[in-house]
Amino acid sequence: MATTEEFEASPGKSLSQLGYEAGWFFGHTLIAAFTLLLIAMVGLFLHVSPDDSTPKLVGTLLAFLVPLLVGFVVAKQTGNPLGRYIWISGLLVFSVVCVWVLDLPTGNGLCEHCGALEKLWRTFFAVNNGSGLMSGDGLLVGTWLPLALIGYALGARAAITE
Q: What is the pLDDT of residue 10?
A: 61
Give pLDDT tens digits for 47-95: 888 778 898 899 999 999 999 999 999 999 998 889 999 999 999 999 9
pLDDT at 139: 87
CA–CA distance, 141 with 80 (Å, rounded to integer):
27
The whole-number pLDDT of residue 162 equals 57
pLDDT score of 103 more than 80: yes
Supply angle C-alpha 123, 95, 88, rounded to 5: 125
pLDDT above 90 coverage of the chain, percent:
51
Could you tell me if 119 and 113 are in contact, meaning their C-beta atoms sit under 8 angstroms apart? no
Nearest-CA neighbor of 31 among 96, 75, 93?
Answer: 75
Is residue 40 predicted with pLDDT exceeding 80?
A: yes
CB 101 within 8 A of CB 118: no
pLDDT, residue 14, reads 84
Confidence of residue 3 (pLDDT cuts 50, 70, 90): low
Q: Where are the domains of the chain?
A: 15-159
Q: How many CA atoms lie within 13 A of 140 on its CB side?
A: 17
pLDDT for residue 4 is more than 60? no
First to last CA, the chain: 39
Using CA atoms, how far residue 9 sits from 17, 82, 134, in Å, is 10, 18, 40
67 alpha carbon, distance to own chain's centre: 10
